[in-house]
Structure 1
Amino acid sequence: MNLAQRKQAFVELGTFFKQFNNSKIEKNNESELNTLFFDAFLMQINRAQEFNGWFTKNNVLKAFESWGEALTEENLTKWLTTYKIEAIKTPKKVAIIMAGNIPLVGFHDFLCVLLTGHNAMVKQSSNDKHFLPLIAKFLEYYNPYFKNKITFTEDKLTAIDAVIATGSNNTARYFEHYFGKYPNIIRKNRNSVAIITGKESKEELELLGEDIFQYFGLGCRSVSKIFVPKNYNFELLFNALFKFNDIINYKKYENNYDYNKAVYLMSLFKILENGFVMLKEDTNYASPIATIFYEYYDSFDNLLLKLKTDKDEIQCIACNENVVDFVKFGQTQRPKLWNYADNIDTVEFLLNI
């Protein structure tokens, strides 16, 4: 099976995903693939929250919508033409250890392994283990070539050639101990930040709210910290974020809000809050659920130097200023295929193992 055929399978998958979004779930009755798979996917979407309380239907559909937008002929071609992907005479067995913080969070690694012609041995998180096996069955039915390319396991990983593992700083130490002898990509904790200049419109700050609240802030591309100029008027931000006030009605989020607020108050920390999100001045990047850390800056250029120094802690930077590698507000959870986690080129890694 050549690259064009592998690519076409994922284009077909993207077309399938486009039927599922928050605006409308609509089945194309003329598709043979829909006859076999549409209802199975819909059932898992509807039941996702039973297995993981953070996987609301709204958030699962956002993930499907994002991948539906990404997996197009145009995007895949633009992405892959920068590489020399030739037929691999001896495909390697690549272990993929996935996180489960947001729906389909490990899909990009899965995509990279299969597009480069290697075999994927997938160890899923218990928090997100129902969608990828369905996707694998979809691909296998579309082209039987994939039947011998995808394995799911819960056992100890053996007889592998390379590893891509995503987890916390603690699990990364475990990964490095056990898999350090293999070619590997081992990802640790990262968080995303936003830079506010004070020139933003309410609409732009509302888009920033998407980056903060989507997936309840659990993703590494979720904005967990903002940098604001001295004497910034936080009422501007709170007024824009009010659009998302319904999030407090979700019990798991509310419990985290109440707990963290109590901790801050008992510790005599100064916080700003509006009933559904708290702002706390803090130099750290990883903030708890329902909390956004903030830090003042005097000079935009000095801030850029600081962020460059701390780049190993940062996944992406949201800002509406025209600076290379910045992500516009509202786009942090819609990465392009070529926006690699931790800025490590996964395809290049796979082509050289």
Structure 2
Amino acid sequence: MSKINIKSTINSFSSLGRQLTEPDTQLMAIIDDERHHNAWFTSESVLQAVTAIGKMLNEVDLQTWFAKYNLNEQAGDKKVGLILAGNIPLVGFHDVLCVLASGNQALIKASSQDARLVKAVLQKLVVIDSNFADKFSFVERLVNFDAIIATGSNNSSRYFDYYFGKVPNIIRKNRNSVALLTGNETAEELSALGHDIFDYYGLGCRNVSKLLVPKDYVFNFFFESIEHYKGIIHHHKYNNNYDYNKSIYLVNSVKHLDNGFLMLTEDDRMASPLSVVYFSYYDDQASAQKTLQEQSENIQCIVTTAPINVSNQVVPFGQSQQPALWDYADGIDTMEFLANL
């Protein structure tokens, strides 16, 4: 078992990053074709996901990332089973990246919703560096693994615990993201918040599904600032969700605000249905922080400019779907886990 050549690995991944930032004709054809396999994966959404990963794989960040871990000392070569989610394009790629970067082998059980993109990106990596050719395989069933990283729902996590509890594992459950508003946000900041809500149609765990707002907050300015996202209603699946939730609220006389493509309703829960964002009022900064701390196990990231002290990742408006290499899902350091296998 050989040591990892970190310099060569960084060169390979940064080269892949450059190719993803400016997709060639072949990759663009795959990007455009995805909507035929998964109606949520529009060309715009897939291109956004591909280029976001491309930007993430820049040389400076890769060097910073690798410097945090003692990988040169590690033998690697463990077989790591990966159960990938498929809710947004390439959502499982970071796990694959971590396994390859740590010198281990990835046994990939891709989601049927998002199997083609991951394969296409890894094929590009193999063309750049043939050493990765035998470092991953796509499998229908996971067998003969040394560790597991599985992403799913609160329900599936119980099965994962049962089947994979005897090996080192990271098992992820449902999480959602929250925006903490102070009432002093600019139109630009609230417009950027629209990205956190609407990117990938709100299907990601880093999408904002809940707003914490000060008592007596008036939503008019918020609605004005996100008006330019109204085109989202023309996506038939999003529109179906909007019509369905609207009819439920009307039939059940649920008090809600509606701008024609997004509904807001007061609710203590974190996970809202598609086309709906829940909100809760808070009395002061301390009570808002207390709410966030109590819900930390259910939160992926918090979007705000307020100075808060919480355990979850805090990002500026518009940045929830632009994670860096070290922004780990559920706050669990995947590379640290893999380096210590």
Match of 2:315 among 327, 336, 353: 327
**Residues of 2 paired with 1:65 and 1:42: CA distance?**
11
Conserved in 2, the CA contact under 8 Å of 1:87 and 1:117? no
User: What is the deviation of 1:39?
Assistant: 3.2
The one-letter code sitting in structure 2 at the alignment partner of 1:292 is V
Measure the CA separation in 2 of the matches of 1:140 and 1:95: 20
How far, CA to CA, are the matches of 2:217 and 2:269 in structure 1? 19
Aligned mates of 1:331, 1:136 — CA distance in 2: 26
Task: State the TM-score, normalizing by the size of structure 1.
Answer: 0.93
Match runs of 1:151-190 below 5 Å: 151-154=137-140, 156-190=141-175
Instruction: Say if 2:12 and 2:129, in contact at 8 Å, map to a contact too.
Output: yes
Of residues 329, 332, 340, the one that matches 1:344 is 332
Match of 2:283 in 1: 298
Q: SS of 1:165's equivalent?
A: strand
1:6 Cα deviation from its structure 2 partner: 1.5
Q: Return the offset for 1:87.
A: 5.2
Match of residue 78 from structure 1: 64
- Note closer, same or farther for the CA distance 1:90–1:236 as it changes in structure 2 (3 Å cut): closer
1:259 aligns with 2:244: yes
Letter in 1 for 2:212: F
Secondary structure, counterpart of 1:53 in structure 2? coil
SS of structure 2 residue aligned to 1:172: helix
How do residues 174-253 of structure 1 correspond to structure 2 at under 5 angstroms?
Answer: 174-253=159-238
CA distance in 2, matches of 1:246, 1:89: 51
What residue is the counterpart of 2:117 in the other structure?
131
Question: TM-score, length-normalised on structure 2?
Answer: 0.96
Equivalent residues in 2 for 1:62-141 (5 A)? 62-86=48-72, 88-89=74-75, 91-141=77-127
Distance 1:89 1:273 in 2: 56
Amino acid at match of 1:15: R
Q: Give the paired residue count.
A: 335
Q: What is the rounded CA distance, in whole Å, between the counterparts of 1:271 and 1:305 in structure 2?
A: 25
**Cα RMSD (Å) of the superposition?**
1.1
Structure 1, unaligned runs of 5 or more: 21-37
For residue 32 of structure 2, what is the aligned residue in structure 1? 46
Cα distance between partner residues in 1 of 2:123 and 2:291: 46
Q: Secondary structure of 2:265's partner?
A: strand
Give the Å deviation of 1:322: 3.6
Q: Distance in 2 between matches of 1:158 and 1:94?
A: 10
What code does the residue aligned with 1:10 have? F
Percent of paired sites with the same residue: 46
Over residues 256-302 of structure 1, what are the superposed CA-to-partner deviations in whole Å (9 max), with x where a residue is unaligned?
00001111111221111011100010000000110000000001112
What residue identity is the alignment partner of 2:32? N
1:137 positional shift: 1.6
Aligned counterparts of 2:127 and 2:215: Cα–Cα separation in 1: 58
Distance (Å, rounded) in 2 between the aligned partners of 1:80 and 1:129: 27
For the pair 1:269 / 2:272, whether they are aligned, the reply is: no
Q: Distance in 1 between matches of 2:247 and 2:188?
A: 32
Q: Secondary structure at the match of 2:88?
A: coil
Answer whether contact 1:205 1:329 (CA < 8 A) is retained.
yes
- Any idea what SS the aligned residue of 2:72 has? coil
Q: Secondary structure at the match of 1:148?
A: coil
Distance 2:303 2:91 in 1: 20
Distance 1:102 1:17 in 2: 17
1:58-79: per-residue Cα shift (whole Å, max 9, x none)?
A: 1111111211211111010111
Q: Is the contact made by 2:215 and 2:281 (CA closer than 8 Å) also made in structure 1?
A: yes
Distance 2:9 2:105 in 1: 13
Q: CA deviation at 1:40?
A: 2.7
Tell me which residue corresponds to 1:15. 18
